[in-house]
């Protein structure tokens, strides 16, 4: 059977909010879609397509990828390439697509960390897998203490000069190295567009380390990943561990995260969310969007239903002082500060 040609919803930009990334010309949807889990080889293409189309139909025009998203490594980018071929090609200029290199990707000394050799080869591979001429932003996925920072940064600058990426970004850098990186990039006329880190009601590290304000100082936007702490900040684990959940798959979210203290706090947060007329997931996303320093929040989702739930967070981004105070009090015992 021939599938109908995808036609995105004409209303796709009506309800989404777009925020400017730092001092750049780029605006991003406040909710972006990440393809770390749920878009790799084990997920049926029909489901991948349904989630990607649903997202774009709702104005989610930023898709966040990395070389090793899957599982297996590379398969999320391959599947995104199929989406480009079959659905998104006519809309390429409406899409903001990222990729990254910095974590383990292929064996040997050139498939990990921050060398120019790795970053350049990885970006070429990513473009082939995604069937793209360029990505909108290429990130150094993590700081490499053994490679001179200048080498990693110059690779980002050159990727932009070669037209393989329009902008450069950083993810998970220590604050002092992030500062050096911002300076290097700015001095080479490729200012950092986005700093990406995990930030949510539970994980406050970027705030505590001053990374959000540091990026703003250098004109960078801030984009939060794992805003639901991989699913903990949802109703998913309040009554056990569902067989089809990320925790049950045992990859990046471990069962030992579900301590009695964690469960108590999650239940308290879920009660508060209910009083606000929201799901816990919605409240967790709204809490992030309540902070004007947050340019965008990269959600993960394993179904269209989860995406639909999460998109409703846009309707409740206001909080009373009392509600914010209660969130602090309930989450205090589970906050990661480091």
Distance CA 310, CA 308 (A): 5
3-state secondary structure of 269: helix
* Residue numbers at the binding site for ligand NDP (CB under 6 A): 34-38, 64, 141, 171-172, 196, 225-231, 234-236, 245-246, 281, 298-302, 306, 309-310
Phi, psi (deg, nearest 5) at residue 50 = -60, -40
List the structure tokens of 299: 């959600």
| Smaller CB separation from ligand NDP, 58 or 246 | 246
List the structure tokens of 237: 């684990």
| Smaller CB separation from ligand NDP, 10 or 75 | 75
The residue among 18, 48, 34 whose CA lies nearest residue 97 is 34
Distance CA 236, CA 266 (A): 10
User: Which residues make Cβ contacts (< 8 Å) with residue 318, sequence separation at least 6?
Assistant: 290
Distance CA 223, CA 279 (A): 22
Taking the complex as a whole, the smallest distance from the CB of residue 286 to ligand NDP amounts, in Å, to: 12
Distance CA 83, CA 46 (A): 10
């Amino acid at each position: 059977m021939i599938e109908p040609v995808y036609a995105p919803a004409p209303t796709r930009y009506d309800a989404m909010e777009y925020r400017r990334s730092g001092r750049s010309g780029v605006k991003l949807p406040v909710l972006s879609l990440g393809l770390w889990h749920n878009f790799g080889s084990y997920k049926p293409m029909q489901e991948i397509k349904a989630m990607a189309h649903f997202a774009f139909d709702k104005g989610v025009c930023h898709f966040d990828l990395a070389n090793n998203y899957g599982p297996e490594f590379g398969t999320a980018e391959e599947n995104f390439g199929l989406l480009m071929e079959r659905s998104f090609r006519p809309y390429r200029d409406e899409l903001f697509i990222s990729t990254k290199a910095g974590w383990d990707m292929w064996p040997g000394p050139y498939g990990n960390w921050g060398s120019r050799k790795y970053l350049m080869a990885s970006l070429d591979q990513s473009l082939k897998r995604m069937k793209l001429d360029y990505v909108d932003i290429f990130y150094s996925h993590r700081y490499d203490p053994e490679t001179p920072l200048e080498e990693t940064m110059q690779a980002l600058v050159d990727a932009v000069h070669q037209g393989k990426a329009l902008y450069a970004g950083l993810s998970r850098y220590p604050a002092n190295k992030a500062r050096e990186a911002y300076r290097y990039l700015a001095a080479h006329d490729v200012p950092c567009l986005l700093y990406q880190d995990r930030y949510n009601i539970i994980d406050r590290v970027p705030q505590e380390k001053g990374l959000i304000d540091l990026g703003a100082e250098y004109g960078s936007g801030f984009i939060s990943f794992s805003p639901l702490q991989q699913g903990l900040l949802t109703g998913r684990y309040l009554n056990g561990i569902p067989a089809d959940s990320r925790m049950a798959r045992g990859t990046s979210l471990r069962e030992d995260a579900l301590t009695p203290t964690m469960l108590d706090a999650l239940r308290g947060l879920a009660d508060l969310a209910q009083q606000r007329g929201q799901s816990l997931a919605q409240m967790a996303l709204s809490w992030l969007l309540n902070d004007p320093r947050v340019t965008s929040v990269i959600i993960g989702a394993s179904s269209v239903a989860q995406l639909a739930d999460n998109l409703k967070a846009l309707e409740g981004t206001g909080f009373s002082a009392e509600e914010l105070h209660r969130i602090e009090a309930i989450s205090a015992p589970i906050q990661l500060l480091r």
